[in-house]
Structure 1
Amino acid sequence: MTQDNDPIGEAIARLRERAQRQGAAETGSDEAGPRLAIDAERHRLRQLEALLFAAAEPLDIETLQARLPAEAEVEALLAALQADYAERGVRLVEVGGRWRFETAPDLASLLEEVKEEPRRLSDAGLETLAIIAYHQPVTRAEIEEIRGVAVSKGTIDLLFEIGWIRLRGRRRSPGRPVTYGTTDAFLDYFGLSAIGDLPGVADLKAAGLLDSRLPPGFEVPDPGLGLRGEGEDDALDLTGEDAPDFHVDFMEDEEGEDD
C-alpha cells in the first residue's frame, strides 16, 4: 500500500496539521498538541470499532456520527478502520450506505454449518406410524382398515427413509402381504428402551391425548404382545390364544428378499 493510498497515514497527517495549528495555543507546547490529538483519534477509532462490533445491523454514517464525539471525522475513521482490518479474518465493508463487519470471503468455508432439516410428518404419517408401533407386525391392508382410509405409498416411503419402520416378513395368507414393524432408530428417537414401553391408555389420558369419555370397548393394543425379544425378526410367539391373526408371521429366507 503506497503512502498516497494509506488512509491511516492520511488521517494522521491531517491530525498533525490541525494539531500544529491549534496545539501550541491550547497546550503551550509544540509537542504535546499533536500527541494528544493522535491519542484522541485512536480513542475514537476504538469507539467506532466497538459500535460496529456491537451493532445488530449495519450502521450508517449519521448514526455513527450521533454516537461519536462531535469533532470526530466519521468517514476518515471508517477508512482508517477499514484499512486496518483489510488483512484480518474479519473486514469492514459498506453495504447499501451502511457499515458492518463480516467474515473475510476466503475464510467463509470455516464457518459453514451443515444442518439436516428434519422432515415433518403429516397427520397421516403420524397415524400410520402409531398403528405400526402398536399393532406390529401389521400389513398395509390392516393399517388402512384401522385408519379407514387408504395409505399412500409416499407415507410408507417417508417412514422408511427416516428409518423408523422396517419389513417384518410376509403374512401366511393369500397374496402373502408384507408386514411392517418399528426399528431401533424409532426407539432411540422416542426414548424407549423397548417397544413395550409405549404409553398405554392411562398414560395417554394423563397426557391429555385421549378423551376421558372413551367409547365402550375402546382399548389400546399391547405393542409387545406376541414378541419374545427385541430386534429378532423370527421372535414371534405363535402360541398365545389372544394374539391377533396378524401376529402369525413367518420369516423365510427367500431368494431376492431382504429383511
Structure 2
Amino acid sequence: MAEDIEEQEESLFEAPPMAEQERMIEAVLFATSEPITLKELESRMPHGCDAGEAMVHLRKRYEGRGVQVVRVGDGYAMRTAADLGFLMQKETVEVRKLSRAAIETLAIIAYHQPVTRAEIEEIRGVSVSRGTVDQLLELEWIRFGRRKMTPGRPVTFVVTQGFLDHFGLENARDLPGLKELRAAGLLENRPPPGTMPLLGDGEDEEESTEGQSELFED
C-alpha cells in the first residue's frame, strides 16, 4: 500500500511525455492571436515540462506545412506559410498608408533603436511632429524604450513585437541591409548635407534615409 501511495505522489510531479507537451503548446498557439513566450507557455503547463524542447519538436513537425510555427521577437506564433499568403488576399483589410514623415520616422527607429526624438530629427533633418509619433504608438509599431543616460534623460523609441510580426521578422537584425536595399533600387538619392546616414560605413554612409523609408510602403 505504501509503495502505491509513493508511486501516485511521484506521478503528480512527473512531466507528461514530450509528445503531450507538444500538443499542449500547439493548443495554446492555435488559440492565441498574439505571439507568446516560452516562459508564458511553461507557466501554463504542468510542473516539469520543458517548453523550449517541446517547441523545437513542434516547429520541426510543422516545417513545410501550410501553417508554420514562427518566432516573433521573444515569442512564438502560428502563421500562414509565406508562399501561401496570396490565398489570404481577399481577407486582407486595406489600411490607410502612413504619411511620408511617419514612414521615415519608423524606418529610422527600426534601424537605430533605441533612438531619441532629437536623434530622429537630426537624421531626418527636420522636426518630428507629435502627431507622427502618436500615430506610430497608436499602431503599436513603436513603444517607449529606456531613458538615455544623457542630460535630461530623454526617452527613447524602439520597434515593437507587433512591428516585427507585421513585417514577418524574427528580430530587427533581419531588416534588409544597405546592399539589399540598393539592389532593390530603394537607395538612389543621397541625403541633404548635414544629415546622418541610417547605417553602414565608408561609401555606404552616404546613402539616403529617404530611399530606405520606402521599405515600409508596401
Q: Please confirm whether the aligned pair reaches a TM-score higher than 0.5, indicating the same fold.
A: no
Q: Indicate the structure whose relative CO is greater, using CA pairs within 8 Å and at least 6 residues apart.
A: 2
Measured against the shorter chain, the TM-score band is 0.3 to 0.5
Give the structure with higher Rg (CA): 1
